Structure 1
């Protein structure tokens, strides 16, 4: 198996070469309860990419520059959300990533409604 078999895939790069559970050593349940919409980012103290599968390093790299949801990371890795929950839970346990509280917005705020409408139009 070549190194490219372990590299995160880019959109449109074809079917996965490894089954998703191989990324997590066969585990299917995360160590922490995480939702699809859980926001994560890299800890400031985490300076180096985590060891292991390339997906771990990729998730860390993206979360160093922005806050992402579990679903966004899954989309970028082209892996099932459940597999990414396991991966992210491991990185949180290892103190590489951390969760971020979502900002609560007033659903009646005109600015919020305009952003929702703009998002719907973009679909």
Structure 2
């Protein structure tokens, strides 16, 4: 179930219970792999089932199952800090649930690319 559909837990003060982002990664703040914010990621076709454990693991996997996303896009959709998502994604890559995709070299001044980047930023 995506994070947006889960019923939020309520804290004693009536607001949603917020966990520190590093709790998603068992307290780790550094990824096992060197990943950039712009690293492209998608689900491995050989992964027959979602990863077990924290719900964020399966959420990230499901997002990447529907298409290729950057680390920043995953973080935006999951509403988690980019650094926490880097750790999460690095774990899923190491466990063969996700894989990185080499970015195609493109002309950075191409208006079509700039429009797509702007549309992506506006969507966040």
How would you bin the TM-score normalised by the shorter chain? 0.7 to 0.9
* Alpha-carbon distance change, 113 to 35 in structure 1, aligned in 2, over 3 angstroms: same
Asked whether the 8 Å contact 1:9–1:76 carries over to 2, the reply is: no
Conserved? CA contact 2:22–2:29, under 8 Å: yes
In the superposition, the TM-score normalised over structure 1's length comes to 0.79
Residue ranges of structure 1 left out of the alignment (5+ in a row): 1-6
Q: How many equivalent pairs are there? A: 113
CA distance in structure 2 between the aligned counterparts of 1:100 and 1:75, rounded to whole angstroms? 19
Structure 1 residue ranges, 4+ long, deviating more than 6 angstroms after superposition: 13-16
Instruction: Give the whole-Å Cα distance in 2 for the aligned partners of 1:66 and 1:118.
Output: 15
CA RMSD of aligned residues (A): 2.6
The answer for the alignment partner of 2:38 in structure 1 is 37
Contact preservation (8 Å) 2:37, 2:72: yes
Deviation at 1:117, TM superposition (A): 4.8
TM-score, normalised to structure 2's length?
0.79
Are the counterparts in 2 of residues 9 and 78 from structure 1 also a CA contact under 8 Å? no
Hey, what's the Cα distance between the residues in 2 that align with 1:48 and 1:118? 32
Distance 2:24 2:101 in 1: 24
Contact 1:42 1:60 in 2 (8 A): yes
Q: 1:114: how far off?
A: 3.9
